[in-house]
Amino acid sequence: MSTPNSTPALANILSAQQAAFAAAGAVDADTRRRRLQTAIDLLVKYHKPLAAAMDADFGGRHPGFSLMNDVLGSLASLKHARDHFEPWMAPDKRTPFAPYDQLGAEAWVMVQPKGSVGIIGTWNAPLFTLFAPLAYVLAAGNRAILKPSEVVPRTAALVAEAVSDLFDPLEVGVVTGGPDVGAAFAAQPFDHLVFTGSTAVGKAVMRAAADNLVPVTLELGGKSPTIIGRSADLATAAFRIAAGKGANGGQLCVNPDVIYVAREQLESFVASLKTAFAGLFPTAAGNPDLTAVVNERHLTRIDGYVAQAAAAGARVETCPDGVISGDGERRRPLRIVIDPPTDSAIMREEIFGPAVVVLGYDDIDAVIADINGRSRPLALYYFGEDAAEQQKVLAHTLSGGVSINEVMFHAAMHDAPFGGVGASGMGRYHGREGFLEFSHLRTVFKAPAYDPRREWGMLPPYGEHFLAAMEAQVTP
């Protein structure tokens, strides 16, 4: 079966899925489990060619990293959903209001699938951003249409081939294509829409979805801050941040973006960060362990941020040390940009690549104020052993999620919701909360045989005591 990449074909698949959903009625546990298992089988069957496709698309991405981040990460979500969803399906009994609670009335909340869900993935984690939400979409009993990112065309084509191989398109389909197809995708009357990507594109997706009143789950990003408290072990913090910054060449939505370090500890921290990163990546150019920047456009963007900050007076440290290679090489060492001007692009825009900002601070309250003066980030990180300071940071900031004394680990929790807030997104997937995100919670009230309203004077024509009886119930 060829992969559709035109708007009419997309509309036809969606219409067929929605008709099949309506005809099938309730989606039992066996059907949901079979669909989840099919997605698992797909990744197991195609894991090697998918890893090779991602390596080729990035121009250098270690197959082991692709397996860990995208294949195993997706499998973990799918298996968690498969092994836990059935109790989540059960109706939730509720207590009817008085006096019907005493008269034999019943009430419950049905947890029903919504129908057909569109999932727009992104290039930086091209499998995970499709299959992790798909896990909870299928667990909730929905059908789905996937739109892989065109920035990684080999991976997108292989996803389409694999899905076509194992799935009936009435259950899970794929459409491929560029921004025009993405715009058409967001404009379809899905029953729910999931988008992973930039805040700017997320706004466009939400505007398009609004025309059909389609609910959206947006997993965006932002400048995720990292606070190094004075009580932190600098070497440990530096190593864990270095490992996080090195993952996928810094091209992850929960990557640490701005690091706040006490001013008197700044030089020691920078030295520790350089040592830790160089220990993980002794060289940059040609190093198969270091993921390349995905394309020339993004490379130019990141290099431009660093160059502009340097021209404006910021200090830039590079690790590992050495000349940045040209000649088509898109691997870059980590550039540490220290105290850039507040109006520089690297302070305004999400870096999404192998660079990081380090800012010195004198007082933790000033750090909190600076974080709160920015858009809400997808992640926040705190390093330190001061329990009171840790609680202050948690209580006075807002972010999609938090890791303490580590970076990015909260996003790997399968039994806890993952998502953003404000400019970093809305909605969530993972765990029971993800299951509920893609479910309709439908209240059902079943009346008793006996209805006392007329004999109690609660129906027209109202008697002389009706108003007084109502007023008597207006109490604090």
Phi-psi region of 213 (alpha: psi -120 to 50; beta: other; left: phi over 0): left
Contact predicate 150/176, CB 8 Å: yes
The structure tokens listed for 142 are 């929905």
Q: Can you point out the beta strands (E) in 263-365?
A: 315-319, 334-338, 355-361
Please name the residues in contact with 423: beta carbons below 8 A apart, sequence gap of 6 or more.
199, 220, 222, 375, 376
From the list 89, 123, 424, 107, the residue with the least C-alpha distance to 297 is 123
E strand or H helix that includes residue 403:
strand 401-404
Residue type present at position 377: P
Class of domain 225-416 (CATH, top level): alpha beta
Query: Topology of domain 7-220+425-440, per CATH?
Result: Aldehyde Dehydrogenase; Chain A, domain 1 (3.40.605)
Segments making up each domain of the chain, as ranges: 7-220+425-440, 225-416
pLDDT in tens for each of the 476 residues of the chain? 345 666 788 999 999 999 999 999 999 999 999 999 999 999 999 999 999 999 999 999 999 999 999 999 999 999 999 999 999 999 999 999 999 999 999 999 999 999 999 999 999 999 999 999 999 999 999 999 999 999 999 999 999 999 999 999 999 999 999 999 999 999 999 999 999 999 999 999 999 999 999 999 999 989 999 999 999 999 999 999 999 999 999 999 999 999 999 999 999 999 999 999 999 999 999 999 999 999 999 999 999 999 999 999 999 999 998 666 666 789 999 999 999 999 999 999 999 999 999 999 999 999 999 999 999 999 999 999 999 999 999 999 999 999 999 999 999 999 999 999 999 999 999 999 999 999 999 999 999 999 999 999 999 999 999 999 999 999 99
Q: What is the pTM of this model?
A: 0.96
- Cα–Cα distance for residue pair 297/305, rounded to 1 Å: 13
For the stretch 19-66, pLDDT in tens is: 999 999 999 999 999 999 999 999 999 999 999 999 999 999 999 999
Q: Are the CB atoms for 337 and 318 separated by under 8 Å? A: no
Q: How many residues does the chain have?
A: 476
SS3 state of residue 257:
coil
CA–CA gap between residue 354 and residue 290 (Å, rounded): 10
Strand partners, 216: 193
Q: Collapsing DSSP states into helix, strand and coil, what is residue 449?
A: coil
Q: Which of helix, strand or coil describes residue 297?
A: helix
Write out the catalytic residue numbers: 219, 253
Could you give the 3-state DSSP secondary structure of residue 173? strand
Half-sphere exposure of 197 (CA within 13 A, CB side): 22
**What is the distance between the alpha carbons of residues 420 and 377, in angstroms, rounded to a whole number?**
7
Closest CA to 418 of 426, 203, 216, 123: 426
pLDDT of residue 1: 38
> Residue 214 has what DSSP assignment?
-
For residue 142, the SS3 value is coil
